[in-house]
Amino acid sequence: MSSLYLLIPLALLLLAVSVWAFFWAVRRSQFDDLDSPALQILLDDDRAPPRAAEKRDA
Amino acid sequence: MDPASPSPVCFHCGSLIRNGEPLSVRIAGVAQPVCCAGCQAAATLILAQGLERFYEFRQPPTARPATAERNWSIFDRAAALRRYSHELASGERELTLQIEGLHCAACAWLIENSLQRERGVTEIHVNAASGRAQLRFDPRASCLSRLLQHIDALGFAPRPLSFSAGPPPDTAERRAALLRLGVAGFGMMQLMTFAVSLYAGVIQGMAEDLQQFLRFVSLAVATPVVLYSARPFFVSAWRSTRAGRPGMDVPVALSIGAAWLWSTWATLRGRGTVYFDSVVMFTFFLLLGRYVEMSLRHRSVVQQDALVRLLPESVLRLGPRAERVTPDELEANDCVRILPGERVPADGVIGSGSTEVDESLLTGESAPRARGPGDTLLAGTLNVSGTVEMRVLRVGPDSTLAAVARLLERAHAARPRIADFADRVASGFVMGVLLLATLVGLYWLQVDAARAFPTVLAVLVVTCPCALSLATPAALAAATTRLAHTGLLVARSRSLERLAHADRIVFDKTGTLTLGTPRLDEVVLLDARAARERCVAIAAALESHTAHPLARAFAHLNAAAGVTGTRSAAGRGIEGWIDGAHYRLGRLDYVLEGGTGAPVPAALRADPELARIVLADADGPLAAFRVNDAVRADARTTLAQLTRLGLIPLIASGDQPGAVALAAQRLGGIGARAGLRAGEKLAWVQQLQQAGHRVVMVGDGVNDAPVLAAADVSVAIASGADLAKVNADLVLLGAGLGALAGAVHTSRRTLRIIRQNLGWAVLYNLTAVPLAASGHLEPWMAALGMSGSSLLVVLNAMRLLKRNTARVEPGGVARLEAAPAEAAR
């Protein structure tokens, strides 16, 4: 049972890291738009987009 | 869908396709119909870039692109670039755009992917939720106007925001709520493991020092949750208590605070039960409910700067150095020149020139009014026929347009409110809970002091208004999602409750029941020389050279070729040469001016309406055209369905009595009032309300906005003026009114579900409270029961999302027609 005295503080450390990561993600707008990125992954383009130099000169 | 019988609905924007030349685009080898050249251009552009998958993933029909070419080059001026964008160290510029017509994630995807292929664009991110785009481009490789033009061509309307505008105000609130919810969620997950160990330890016999260790660890995890995540409950409880009206948050704050203090005390003492798990679980589920409710509210955000959208992008300012400027840059006493087809940028007085002005957005009058030197022009109105020079009197917040907006705000404040269930009972409920908890506490102190605190805590938690407060928002959220799939956007979800009770539905005519664009109804031949086809072709050719609103009736018709020497007389007519013959088209007195004095045909003397558009050649009148505002294709069936559902349709119009009566008769003889100004419409609606009716108002113009705000439920048509759109409870997207009847049906189902939910919540509390008060419930059981009850309420609400209900819904058919892209897949 004494391993718990090590494992639980480790779990708490992990918890602190996840909360920090969560704050980091929210503050960097990762959660501001939950709809479009979900779709973007579905709509992965089969063709490579034209390189900058070849961009259409509309 | 069978490609051989294409639906009469535009593939791109979902509008019903009216008369005229059939246009189409080829998608995957199949010709798909489109309604206008604008949609055709947008669809062709999307296909040319290989982005046709947009059509598979978009949700509501796309906005219809404006066909008129807009002049974006104004934004390339150094002054405008400084105003709307800022320079980065790399020499690139960054700016924020508000994009109109953005309805779903697929639209955002389309804009991002399409612009990324443009030269000079280094980065673009479109947020589908807020409709804002962050654009970074290199001014040395491209110019801003070209990029704006590109978005415009896709069928969306971009509007650069002044750089000071900042992020949308709700972002900060949403992020803070998400962080609180996240912290509570992490804390809850972690604490559960400790709590389960502790409970199991009690049964199996856990070492005392390990138990104490787990208590301290739980304290360490629960404390940030209470201090950070539960803060809003304490703040709100304190505020409501100080105001003398204790709200729902008082028992919440009390139970969280007391349980935490008690548990902390027990931990420090090393004796007694801890309730950290209940505290954190309670906080998390309450925050979750609030978060759902807040997401809904933010979707209905009223845009503060909606007014700006009725102003032109640019205007020609006269002076020592004449240049085009944005309306933001105008000041009083500036002199501006307004060309035909432009909107008036500010209130002012005409200095020279005369014209006709379409004021239908402010007055509801569909026919343009003549304006000459000394007359006042109002910001946001449309200059139809002539070029005028105007001295600016009032700009921005002083203009009439802004005054209409203020009138609107006042009407909002005066909206008759059916008080929310929670608001009405909150104070009484809370006092009851507190009283009950005190009594239970006093009783147990006498009987068994050790069990007093857990019992009081169980009572406080079990009576948590969680299920009660989730009952309504969960059902409304589900109904909102469901209606969005039928093409109806719910901006204020509370309005669904009122919609379910409505018994009168008042329609504006122009642009609502009718398409707002005139259509050629009848051709009366006045002379034996005239042939119907030829007359229509000549008229169409002549009308193509004028911007008069009535000319739009001829826009889709085959025009004769080779018109030369056209000259238009403001508000009266137009003349020109075709194949060597001279023709005049317009009012009877105008076309007879150049004629030989031929007698006025009897048909015209009998019917002055018919004398408004007459075609004549040198020898006299040839034909007369009757033009009417076309009634929407699904208006009649929708009205019939609404009548069956118990809503009596009425028309309130600012238009002339003749046109209104005709529309009313075509729609099945419904009640109508004509010639109403905005104030009179408002009075009529209020009169109906005083007679005990619940009134739904359907409109599209700015002049409707005060009426819309005063009605119990307001519905706006998305293609109408943006101001009305953002200030309505419900917004109809796409072409038809068809979704209305379905919405009424859904709102009634929603109300039934809300009642079931409230009934369950009350029943649950009635059973659980005696159990808790008699000491049969541990606090963790109370917290679990509370969560289970909330879950049940949410699951019940989810039933609204199911599409295939036993009864065929009236809106179902309209949905199929409005979504050929989905049906084809």
Q: How confident is the model at residue B117 (pLDDT cuts 50, 70, 90)?
A: confident
Does residue B415 carry a pLDDT above 50? Answer: no
Instruction: At B356, give phi and psi (nearest 5°).
Output: -115, 140
Our CA-based measurement puts residue A13 at a distance from the nearest CA of chain B, in whole angstroms, of: 11
Q: Closest Cα partner for B476 from B718, B599, B292?
A: B292
pLDDT at B426: 58
Whole-number percent of chain B with pLDDT over 70: 76
Does residue B498 carry a pLDDT above 60? Answer: yes
**Chain A residues near residue B193 by CB distance under 8 angstroms:** 11
Of A12, A34, A39, the CB nearest to B220: A12
pLDDT (average), residues B391-413: 66
Q: Going along B22-92, which residue ranges are E strands?
A: 23-27, 30-34, 85-87
Q: Do B217 and A45 touch (CB under 8 A)?
A: no
Interface membership of B143 toward A (CB under 8 Å): no
Q: Which amino acid is at B205?
A: G
Q: How confident is the model at residue B821 (pLDDT cuts 50, 70, 90)?
A: very low
Does residue B94 carry a pLDDT above 70? Answer: yes
Arch. (CATH architecture) of B515-631: 3-Layer(aba) Sandwich (3.40)
Q: How confident is the model at residue B588 (pLDDT cuts 50, 70, 90)?
A: confident
pLDDT (average), residues B711-734: 67
ipTM: 0.78
pLDDT at B236: 84
Our CA-based measurement puts residue A32 at a distance from the nearest CA of chain B, in whole angstroms, of: 7
> CB-hemisphere CA count at 13 Å for A46?
5
Q: How confident is the model at residue B807 (pLDDT cuts 50, 70, 90)?
A: very low
More confident residue, B437 or B128: B437
Of B109, B178, B210, the CB nearest to A36: B109
Q: What is d(CA B293, CA B272) in angstroms, rounded to the nearest whole number?
A: 37
Write the class of the CATH domain B307-412: mainly beta
Of B126, B175, B210, the CB nearest to A26: B175
Q: Closest Cα partner for B564 from B583, B547, B577?
A: B577
pLDDT at B690: 92
Q: What is d(CA B474, CA B696) in angstroms, rounded to the nearest whole number?
A: 24
Q: How confident is the model at residue B473 (pLDDT cuts 50, 70, 90)?
A: low
CATH code of the region B1-168: 3.30.70.100
Highest mean pLDDT among A13-17, B295-299, B740-744: A13-17
**Chain A residues near residue B113 by CB distance under 8 angstroms:** 45, 49
3-state secondary structure of B754: helix
**CB neighbours of residue B662 within 10 Å:** 17
More confident residue, A43 or A5: A5
pLDDT (average), residues B588-601: 71
Q: Which tens digit of pLDDT belongs to each residue from B767-795? A: 888 888 888 887 777 777 776 787 788 77
pLDDT (average), residues B418-437: 66
3-state secondary structure of B379: coil
Q: How confident is the model at residue B218 (pLDDT cuts 50, 70, 90)?
A: very high
According to DSSP, the residues that pair with B31 across neighbouring strands are B26
Our CA-based measurement puts residue B193 at a distance from the nearest CA of chain A, in whole angstroms, of: 10
Among B613-617, B737-741, B745-749, B810-814, which is the least confidently predicted range?
Answer: B810-814
Of B129, B146, B150, the CB nearest to A35: B129
Cβ-contact B495, B715 below 8 angstroms: no
Q: Do A32 and B171 touch (CB under 8 A)?
A: yes
**Chain B residues near residue A23 by CB distance under 8 angstroms:** 179
Q: Closest Cα partner for B378 from B351, B349, B352?
A: B349
Our CA-based measurement puts residue B497 at a distance from the nearest CA of chain A, in whole angstroms, of: 28
pLDDT at B393: 87
pLDDT at B1: 36
**Chain A residues near residue B130 by CB distance under 8 angstroms:** 32-33
- Most B CBs within 10 Å, among A33, A34, A45, A46, to test the B interface: A33
Q: Which residue of B has its CA nearest to A53?
A: B119
Those of residues 14-53 in B touching chain A at CB distance below 8 A are 50, 53
Record: fold of B487-513+632-739: Rossmann fold (3.40.50)
Q: Do B210 and A1 touch (CB under 8 A)?
A: yes
Interface membership of B709 toward A (CB under 8 Å): no
Whole-number average pLDDT of chain B: 76
Q: Do A31 and B178 touch (CB under 8 A)?
A: yes
pLDDT at B463: 73
Does residue B806 carry a pLDDT above 50? Answer: no
Interface membership of B406 toward A (CB under 8 Å): no
Does residue A37 carry a pLDDT above 90? Answer: no
Q: Which tens digit of pLDDT belongs to each residue from B602-658? A: 777 777 667 778 888 877 788 888 877 777 778 888 888 899 988 899 988 877 787
Among B453-457, B547-551, B610-614, B643-647, which is the least confidently predicted range?
Answer: B547-551
Q: Do B116 and A39 touch (CB under 8 A)?
A: no
Q: Do B116 and A11 touch (CB under 8 A)?
A: no
Our CA-based measurement puts residue A43 at a distance from the nearest CA of chain B, in whole angstroms, of: 7
pLDDT at B201: 79
Q: Which residue of A has its CA nearest to B147?
A: A58
pLDDT at A29: 79
Q: Which residue of B has its CA nearest to A31?
A: B175
Q: Which residue of B has its CA nearest to A23?
A: B179
Q: Which residue of B has its CA nearest to A17?
A: B186
Highest mean pLDDT among B568-572, B729-733, B756-760: B756-760
- pTM here is 0.57
pLDDT (average), residues B370-391: 84
Q: Which tens digit of pLDDT belongs to each residue from B178-187? A: 999 999 999 9
pLDDT at B571: 65
Provide residues of A within 8 Å CB-CB of chain B. Answer: 1, 4-5, 8, 11-12, 15, 18-19, 22-23, 26-27, 31-36, 38-40, 42-43, 45, 47, 49-50, 52, 55-58
> CB-hemisphere CA count at 13 Å for B107?
29
Beta sheet of B355-358, edge-to-edge order:
B369-371, B355-358, B382-383
pLDDT at B141: 84
Q: How many Å from the N-terminal Cα to the C-terminal Cα in chain A?
A: 71
Q: How confident is the model at residue B703 (pLDDT cuts 50, 70, 90)?
A: low
Among B272-281, B546-555, B644-653, which is the least confidently predicted range?
Answer: B546-555
| Cα four-point dihedral sign B426, B432, B434, B436 | negative
Counted residue by residue, chain B has a size of: 825
Q: What is d(CA B66, CA B59) in angstroms, rounded to the nearest whole number?
A: 20
Cβ-contact B707, B688 below 8 angstroms: no
Q: At what angle are helices B170-204 and B276-299 packed, to 10 degrees?
A: 160
Residue with tokens 């902390």: B264
Q: What is d(CA A19, CA B683) in angstroms, rounded to the nearest whole number?
A: 56
Q: What is d(CA B507, CA B518) in angstroms, rounded to the nearest whole number?
A: 18
Instruction: At B100, give phi and psi (nearest 5°).
Output: -85, 150
Using alpha carbons, list the distances in angstroms from residue B131 to B300, B721, B767. 12, 17, 47
Q: Do B117 and A50 touch (CB under 8 A)?
A: yes
Query: Is B508 assigned a catalytic role?
Result: yes
Residues 6+ apart with CB under 8 A from B567: B574, B575, B576
Residue with tokens 């962050």: B134
Q: Do A49 and B117 touch (CB under 8 A)?
A: yes
pLDDT (average), residues B224-231: 94
Our CA-based measurement puts residue B247 at a distance from the nearest CA of chain A, in whole angstroms, of: 30
Per the rule left: phi > 0, alpha: psi between -120 and 50, beta: everything else, B597 is left
**Chain B residues near residue A43 by CB distance under 8 angstroms:** 53, 57, 109
Cβ-contact B148, B159 below 8 angstroms: no
CB burial string B113-132: b at 16+ within 10 A, e below: bbbbbbbbbbebbbbbbbbb
Those of residues 145-184 in B touching chain A at CB distance below 8 A are 146, 150, 171, 174-175, 178-179, 182-183
pLDDT (average), residues B731-740: 73
Our CA-based measurement puts residue A58 at a distance from the nearest CA of chain B, in whole angstroms, of: 7
Q: Going along B456-593, which residue ranges are E strands?
A: 488-490, 504-507, 514-525, 563-569, 573-578, 581-586
- Most A CBs within 10 Å, among B96, B115, B140, B179, to test the A interface: B179
Q: What is d(CA B180, CA B145) in angstroms, rounded to the nearest whole number?
A: 42
Those of residues 89-108 in B touching chain A at CB distance below 8 A are 104-106, 108
Q: What is the CA radius of gyration of chain B?
A: 32
Q: What is d(CA B641, CA B466) in angstroms, rounded to the nearest whole number?
A: 38
pLDDT at B810: 39
pLDDT at B598: 65
Q: Which tens digit of pLDDT belongs to each residue from B510-539? A: 777 877 667 777 788 877 777 778 888 888
Residues 6+ apart with CB under 8 A from B466: B285, B286, B289, B786, B787, B789, B790
**Chain B residues near residue A41 by CB distance under 8 angstroms:** none
Does residue B44 carry a pLDDT above 60? Answer: yes
Among B268-282, B421-435, B764-778, which is the least confidently predicted range?
Answer: B421-435
| Cα four-point dihedral sign B405, B410, B411, B417 | positive
Q: What is d(CA B351, CA B390) in angstroms, rounded to the nearest whole number?
A: 5
Our CA-based measurement puts residue B200 at a distance from the nearest CA of chain A, in whole angstroms, of: 15
Q: At what angle are helices B276-299 and B466-485 packed, to 10 degrees?
A: 30
Q: How confident is the model at residue B450 (pLDDT cuts 50, 70, 90)?
A: confident
| Cα four-point dihedral sign B266, B437, B790, B712 | negative
Cβ-contact B134, B94 below 8 angstroms: yes
Of B112, B113, B118, the CB nearest to A56: B118
Q: What is d(CA B488, CA B507) in angstroms, rounded to the nearest whole number?
A: 17
pLDDT (average), residues B390-396: 84
Whole-number percent of chain B with pLDDT over 90: 8
Our CA-based measurement puts residue B189 at a distance from the nearest CA of chain A, in whole angstroms, of: 10
Token pair in block for residue B61 = 């029909």
Residues 6+ apart with CB under 8 A from B807: none
Strands B671-673, B648-652: pairing kind: parallel
Q: Do A18 and B217 touch (CB under 8 A)?
A: no
Token pair in block for residue B204 = 């199996």
- Please tell me which residue in B508, B634, B712, B722 is annotated as part of the active site: B508
Cβ-contact B544, B555 below 8 angstroms: yes
Does residue B219 carry a pLDDT above 90? Answer: yes
Interface membership of B196 toward A (CB under 8 Å): no
Does residue B107 carry a pLDDT above 80? Answer: no
**Chain B residues near residue A52 by CB distance under 8 angstroms:** 119
DSSP B745: H
Q: Do A8 and B174 touch (CB under 8 A)?
A: no
Does residue B306 carry a pLDDT above 60? Answer: no
Q: Do B213 and A50 touch (CB under 8 A)?
A: no
Cβ-contact B386, B350 below 8 angstroms: no
Residues 6+ apart with CB under 8 A from B33: B6, B7, B8, B9, B10, B11, B17, B22, B23, B24
- If you count residue pairs, one on A and one on B, with CB atoms under 8 Å apart, how many are there? 88
Q: Do B217 and A12 touch (CB under 8 A)?
A: yes
Q: How confident is the model at residue A54 (pLDDT cuts 50, 70, 90)?
A: very low
Among B197-211, B514-528, B625-639, B683-697, which is the least confidently predicted range?
Answer: B514-528
